[in-house]
Chains A and B, each alone.
Chain A
Amino acid sequence: MMDSPKTMEFELISFVVNHGVGTKVLKFAKQHGISGGTICLGRGTVNNPILKLLDLTDTRKEIVMMIGEKDAAQNALVALNEKLALHKPNHGIAFTSSVRGFVGHHHIYRNEEERRGAENPMYNAIYTVVDRGMAEDVMEAATKAGSRGGTIINARGSGIHETHTLFSMAIEPEKEIVMILAETSTTEAIVTAIRQELHIDNPGHGIIFVLDVNQTYGLRQ
């Protein structure tokens, strides 16, 4: 079992915003007590009959994921909601999810409590964020520990150690996110294996967080 020196709770905040806004979100969140975040590129579609006719329906989006201690996360979310005017159309969306486990930034945290009313989940989604090029190692470690596969997502992001700017624009180094679905019984082993193989406990070597998953389809036993 992981040692949990702090009894903090963590939340994952996700934003889906227009291209180019992600960096602003991250910068603003950092001013409100969030230590870092990861941004990946996405594509959205527009619902407009004229544009549909012209087949110009792709818009570029950015997905921002940030982990924060529950109170800080709430603060940042409220402030960001105000700042980005999310209530207006086309300004983006945001949502939070509870984090079951979190390793990184000197924190090791694991939420052992059963949540009221929720079923005991069978699966976890393990997210590992590492520097670009390391995802293969994550996969290898996870496979040895019993994972059957995973998905690599290209991303960029910055934590507390990465605060450089160039022409007053923040440099956000390239990252890879590895998403692995695992049975709750093997989660512990996979997380430990990744932690050891990639030295996640050393600062600046990435983070791992674990989310509960209620239902899965298509996973083979």
Chain B
Amino acid sequence: MSVLLEKLKEVLWSVIPIVVIVLVLNFTITALEPYLIYRFLLGALLIVIGLAIFLFGVDIGISKVGTLMGGTLAKSNKLWIIIGAGLLLGFFISIAEPDLHILAGQVDMVTSGVISKLSIVVVVSIGIAVMLTSGLVRIVYNIPLYKLLTVLYLLILGLSFFTSSEFLAISFDASGATTGALTVPFMLALALGVSSLKKDGKASEKDSFGLVAVTSTGAILAVMIMSILSKQDKITGSLQEAAATSTSVLAPFLHKLPIVAWEILIALAPIILVFLVFQKISFKISKKAFRKVLKGLLYTFIGLVLFLTGVNAGFMEVGTKIGYSVAALDNKLIVVGIGFLIGLVVVLAEPAVYVLTHQIEDVTSGYVRRPVVLIALSIGVAFAVALSMVRILIPGLQLWHFLLPGYVVSILMMYFVPKLFVGIAFDAGGVASGPMTATFILAFAQGAAEAIEGANVLVDGFGVIAMVAMTPIIALQTLGFIFKIKSVKEGLEEHDG
């Protein structure tokens, strides 16, 4: 049973830090109601169990389908098959993503229905489909990732001049929303499957990353174009928060469970469908392997439902409360410090982070090790949350004051760091902004915004995910830079033959 214990231990170590921090805060500066603490602990337990099951499921289910699919596409050797499959996959995966529906619902509300929920879901999905296809074609045609990303981000920069700051935040958040816990592992595996057929080991390695990065720009571009075309640049409505006043420990869990289960089932449906269809026409893997993948998909489902129920019912309210209490303190600098701490630990429990770090280890045969990547990611996200708090505290500071220099630095860095790290870093941006960030950190930021005078819960709430998606890019490229310096062989000059 050592396999199970090992996984549990691994997961435990990533959830314990956040639990410890919340408990310490509870006993020092922000006393929480007992029922909230019990909910939080129950949520943490569900997260540990759920995450462990989910990761097993990803290993033998989602990743397997992704790599098989990628390999099949590359072997087909026909451009139209890759384009067709890319468009279909991208569209349906994105349209089934529950996070996108939540975001679209919010946008619908704040624009008083001018941009309807349906239109945003469809437009973003088209954006995702187009960019997923571009990402696949890039791998096949050996177009360097840094060139494609430079073009895409210049395009985003150009469009951002015509987009209002509110929609700028929404568009970057949309990219975070579409790279959810299911899509990221699938896209990572898809890229791995396509690129692993390459003959040149170095190229195969660096092309295993970057698909998530290219795909997520699709959402940014789509929302920007939409906001420009609809000439909607002011947020008019306001968000109504459903006031949950129940003090029962179990009730929110029982309430969330069926909702989450249904959402995940919908999100998983395209992947299951793709697997079944391609099993018939192309994969034709053995009965035994087929059953194993199905079991994997089942584990993915169970694991993710437990995980998300735990996060939504146990963590979200605690996040808001802590944000509110800390920001209400006299010394406003504390909220920045606490934000830093929370950012440091929350990303460790992000499901897709596991998948990414494991894939990095596998692809590089252990050269870039998990702990190193985790440290860089943690530091990156910590800065993101801390800077978001600074932004909430200082009214004049806008999101683009961070995003613009941040992305300019990210793009310039691409030209100096090892190309393997370019893909890893930009993928990590999408990976870090997963369900944990979208609930806990967002709730924390909104709580803080509520307590601070002059801060708008809505405007300041949007954009936190955008920050979390940006800073890991810089952090991991810095890591790549360090690796470059440190990997030089000692005691001998380069002999170039």
- A residues near B (Cβ < 8 Å) are 22-23, 39-41, 46, 48, 50-51, 54-59, 62, 90, 132-133, 135-136, 152, 154-156, 160-167, 169, 171-176, 197-199, 202-205
Contacts and interface: CB of A to CB of B under 8 A. Distances in A.
Contact of A39 (B199, B366, B492): B366
A133 B201 contact: yes
Contacts of B497: 197-199
A133 B200 contact: yes
Contact of B486 (A54, A164, A176): A164
A203 B3 CA distance: 41
B60 A55 contact: yes
Interface string B22-46: 0000000000000000000000000
A156 B489 contact: no
B366 A41 contact: yes
Contacts of B486: 164-166, 171
Contacts of A48: 1
Contact of A173 (B1, B201, B296, B367): B367
The 5 lowest CB-CB distance pairs between A and B, nearest first, are A133-B202, A161-B489, A164-B486, A174-B367, A156-B365
Contacts of A46: 2-3
B372 interface: yes
Contacts of B205: 132, 174
Interface in B53-78: 56, 59-60
A163 B372 contact: no
Contacts of A164: 486-488, 490
B202 A56 contact: no
A121 to B, nearest CB: 30
A56 B489 contact: no
A146 B371 CA distance: 44
Contacts of A198: 497
B118 interface: no
Q: Of A51, A164, A169, A175, which is in contact with the most chain B CB atoms at under 10 Å from its CB? A: A164
Contacts of A169: 369, 371-372
Contacts of A162: 487, 489-490
Contacts of B492: 161, 202-204
Contacts of A135: 201
B495 interface: yes
A205 B493 CA distance: 11
A161 B491 contact: yes
Interface of B: 1-4, 56, 59-60, 199-202, 205, 291-292, 295-296, 361-362, 364-367, 369, 371-372, 375, 482-483, 486-492, 495, 497
B201 A152 contact: yes
B201 A171 contact: no
30 contacts: A22-B366, A46-B2, A54-B295, A55-B60, A55-B296, A56-B3, A132-B201, A132-B205, A133-B202, A136-B201, A156-B364, A156-B365, A160-B491, A162-B487, A162-B489, A162-B490, A164-B488, A164-B490, A165-B486, A167-B375, A169-B369, A171-B367, A172-B366, A172-B367, A174-B205, A174-B364, A199-B497, A203-B491, A204-B489, A205-B495
Nearest to B202: A133
A174 B365 contact: yes
A171 B364 CA distance: 12
A103 to B, nearest CB: 16
A175 B292 CA distance: 32
Given A51-B3, A176-B201, A166 B482 contact: yes
A181 to B, nearest CB: 20
Contacts of B292: 55
A51 B489 contact: no
Contacts of B375: 167
A78 B4 CA distance: 31
Contacts of B491: 160-161, 203
A154 B201 contact: yes
A51 B365 contact: no
Given A22-B366, A164-B490, A197-B497, 8 more contacts: A40-B365, A55-B291, A132-B205, A136-B200, A156-B366, A162-B489, A171-B486, A173-B367
A41 B51 CA distance: 24
A50 B497 CA distance: 55
B365 A166 contact: no
Contacts of B369: 169
A58 B59 contact: yes
B490 A161 contact: yes
B487 A39 contact: no
Contacts of B295: 54-55
A199 B487 contact: no
A50 B1 CA distance: 8
Contacts of B495: 199, 202, 205
A173 to B, nearest CB: 5
A57 to B, nearest CB: 8
B55 to A, nearest CB: 11
Contacts of B201: 132-133, 135-136, 152, 154, 176
A143 B495 CA distance: 24
A81 B244 CA distance: 59
A171 B483 contact: yes
